[in-house]
Structure 1
């Protein structure tokens, strides 16, 4: 009996299926550890199915502990806290953190509070994130790593002004360690990049030189990315040459940025040359590297070459991901080709992200095809993925386009039941008013 189906029959209706929690006899300590890891992975996978529905996720989280005898670990707690934080259920997050204390297998760690910082800052609750940092003395985690995690969360989610104030302003947190290092400056430089304030990025880049901050591989990688995003890829290529002259050994992240920059400024053939150079220098391309080349090939109209690289990826030990397929989907113009590639994606074991489902439904909707929209929706549900607002809106718009207002209204009501806010659609509102007048 499948774990999640068993739960669904008891409490919830959902087609998602995952592996069984282990019921094999344990013959040694090593076997026990291995089975615990498998069970932990199974629970995390099941929680991911409910990442867009925190109530079902929490219900499953409590059920699997109570009914299946599973002992939650730090990792499963962290996964649940992340889902709750996504929906601003911070009181429940802290209740779970308090549950974690006292069990050596589920003690809060740096990842726990990195998630808390991220979710607070995403909700623009900056002071709450700072207050959470101050509470870390209670968990023996108020240290340099946690401070970096806090600054990183602020910079990642467009609160770099507050991050800079924390590090160098008048009200500096009493952290007891130096922040005048390259790592902190790199985080803040990336923060200005997230805001898209290119002039401020240039100013900060020059300031690092003025203040004698040593620039490392990550500094150059961040600034090359800034040059690409600000529409100056040729300057990123110039920085790449500067790195080579300084004998800075590039890693896969830096090479990925260079490949993108050269592709934008000089074309995909030059990117492929750097791709080959990368391998020759002993830096193995990752999935992001292949995705960048595939995207450039697609943009250049070289779909056969893009498919050839897709075929070669597994042979070279690099499995495609959902972004790989999205690069191809974005350029395909025939529904039959898209559905064929979508089927290949599912069969190969690549799980589409919600963005993938939405992208395909929107594409079919623009072309006026309803059946492919419903097919993608059905596949999403059968895969156990909980639709978000964008997915619901895509299928509702497709139904309205075909005049199927009753079915569109059913999906809208389902959205509301799940606590999601549908867009106001005149077609559905007007129909409701007409029905009200007839009833009177």
Structure 2
């Protein structure tokens, strides 16, 4: 289905026949995995002995030059279905002669890591080193660190950092990727110990590249953890250690003040920065607009928005998004719509966040579906969380038909649903008493290796929960 949707969008492309074939073969046959260490690839198990339908259209396909962007796009669409992604990845290499480059390998490693298939990921890295066009780069290890950290496998991330030495990549960039991944996924304690601990560096043999950027990462990590006292303590520690704070440092700390419920302190810091002659960039202004909107009202935020240009700072789409969201939060939808229209006139294209800000405050399904269609028509690609947001919204209102409209659009655009999307659909079905249909999607979800939520209605409640309820 995913590849069929790509084929529709590529109706005038020379590779249309390829995707038509792929959609047939992937939907009609199951696949078996062989050992990648022997450079073997996935091949389909044929439904009838002695035949191999994947060979039939090869004569027509061999003349097609696969485009790397198309391969990357297809892998992106399979983000939430690692087995199909892996099948496609190996198929184009073995049967069409396509040579994956580093970007393609990195995309596949990212998908495998998302489903904890780290052994397969390392098999691919071993393959990468054999070809100069696919040799691992800094992004390869950034992807690995991100997936290890999200799986809370900190030691494995550190081992991967040590192993980067084999590829001449154990340097400042890779180290910053490691710290950034740990902080992004709330392993800030470990990140701080690696950088500033008394014994950690000796134990794991890491050459630390301490600079303002690393300190900013840790500060942002404490922000993500919402450990407000630690945020203020680390801010002071930066001064004690003689760290030269930059604009990013101030922007992060202003964001901290906003999110800990003290936006007036962020505004005070903004005023102090102006007095000191510190020139703010658009990221800092975006934070200030949010802070001043929360503490002093949306009118003051709009004023800052209009004054930015006077200080030589042009807004970005994110700036418009911040103001539109504030207007929507305050029930001023007409002004938000007016600013929304102004974006295009000024040469700014609304992004998915812009639309989601408006979706959140619309109250009629028809309005939402109409704006959603407009969003797609303007070439703005919905994210998975966009679909989930809309399905959840319709579910809360008790509307099932719009839920299916959104689900079908997601499939038409070739996106593979994740566990959040499946759970949203299943909850909407159960709300209407459609247990058999909900069970079908629950089983489909688990077959893909996605985590299904235990539900009494489907008989999947955990035994421990059953005993408690009885």
Equivalent residue, structure 2, for 1:8: 23
Per-residue CA distance 1:11-64 (angstroms, 9 max, x = gap): 237xxxxxxx9979xxxxxxxxxx99xx22221111111101111111111112
**1:106 and 2:121 equivalent?**
no
- Residue 388 of structure 1 deviates from its aligned partner by 1.2
Contact 2:219/2:234, CA 8 A, preserved across alignment: yes
- Taking a change above 3 Å as real, the CA distance of residues 177 and 204 of structure 1, as seen in their structure-2 partners, is closer
Match of 2:397 among 361, 364, 367: 367
**1:65 and 2:93 equivalent?**
yes
Taking the aligned partners of 1:4 and 1:221, their CA distance within structure 2 comes to: 46
Contact 1:52/1:387, CA 8 A, preserved across alignment: yes
Equivalent residue, structure 2, for 1:221: 251
Equivalent residue, structure 2, for 1:161: 189
Match of 1:269 among 281, 299, 307: 299
Equivalent residue, structure 1, for 2:34: none
Q: Alignment partner of 1:369: what SS?
A: coil
**1:410 and 2:425 equivalent?**
no
Per-residue CA distance 1:312-344 (angstroms, 9 max, x = gap): 223333222221111111101111111111111
**1:49 and 2:77 equivalent?**
yes
- Residue 177 of structure 1 deviates from its aligned partner by 5.5
- Residue 86 of structure 1 deviates from its aligned partner by 0.9
**1:116 and 2:144 equivalent?**
yes
- Residue 149 of structure 1 deviates from its aligned partner by 1.0
Equivalent residue, structure 1, for 2:7: none
**1:200 and 2:215 equivalent?**
no
- Taking a change above 3 Å as real, the CA distance of residues 414 and 174 of structure 1, as seen in their structure-2 partners, is closer
Moved more, 403-412 or 125-134: 403-412
Match of 1:144 among 172, 189, 200: 172
Taking the aligned partners of 2:177 and 2:158, their CA distance within structure 1 comes to: 11
Contact 1:121/1:153, CA 8 A, preserved across alignment: yes
Contact 2:216/2:248, CA 8 A, preserved across alignment: yes
Taking the aligned partners of 2:238 and 2:431, their CA distance within structure 1 comes to: 55
**1:382 and 2:412 equivalent?**
yes
- Taking a change above 3 Å as real, the CA distance of residues 235 and 4 of structure 1, as seen in their structure-2 partners, is farther
- Taking a change above 3 Å as real, the CA distance of residues 420 and 136 of structure 1, as seen in their structure-2 partners, is closer
- Structure 2: which 5+ residue stretches go unaligned? 1-14, 29-60, 461-470
Contact 1:154/1:160, CA 8 A, preserved across alignment: yes
Contact 2:172/2:209, CA 8 A, preserved across alignment: no
Taking the aligned partners of 2:70 and 2:149, their CA distance within structure 1 comes to: 29
Per-residue CA distance 1:140-175 (angstroms, 9 max, x = gap): 001111111111111111111111111121121544
After TM superposition, the score normalised by the length of structure 2 is 0.83
Contact 2:92/2:98, CA 8 A, preserved across alignment: yes
- Residue 96 of structure 1 deviates from its aligned partner by 0.9
Taking the aligned partners of 1:10 and 1:131, their CA distance within structure 2 comes to: 39
**1:130 and 2:158 equivalent?**
yes
Equivalent residue, structure 2, for 1:349: 379
**1:234 and 2:261 equivalent?**
no
Moved more, 42-51 or 98-107: 98-107
Q: Alignment partner of 1:407: what SS?
A: helix
Contact 1:77/1:96, CA 8 A, preserved across alignment: yes
Contact 1:7/1:63, CA 8 A, preserved across alignment: no
After TM superposition, the score normalised by the length of structure 1 is 0.89
**1:335 and 2:365 equivalent?**
yes
Equivalent residue, structure 1, for 2:200: 171
Aligned pairs for 1:70-109 within 5 A: 70-109=98-137
Contact 2:321/2:357, CA 8 A, preserved across alignment: yes
Q: Alignment partner of 1:141: what SS?
A: coil
Equivalent residue, structure 2, for 1:29: none
Per-residue CA distance 1:248-299 (angstroms, 9 max, x = gap): 2222211111111111111122112221222233322222111111100101
Taking the aligned partners of 2:304 and 2:98, their CA distance within structure 1 comes to: 49
Contact 1:357/1:380, CA 8 A, preserved across alignment: yes
Contact 2:328/2:358, CA 8 A, preserved across alignment: yes
Equivalent residue, structure 1, for 2:275: 245
- Structure 1: which 5+ residue stretches go unaligned? 14-20, 25-34, 431-440
Q: Alignment partner of 2:256: what SS?
A: helix
Moved more, 372-381 or 164-173: 164-173
Taking the aligned partners of 2:159 and 2:254, their CA distance within structure 1 comes to: 34
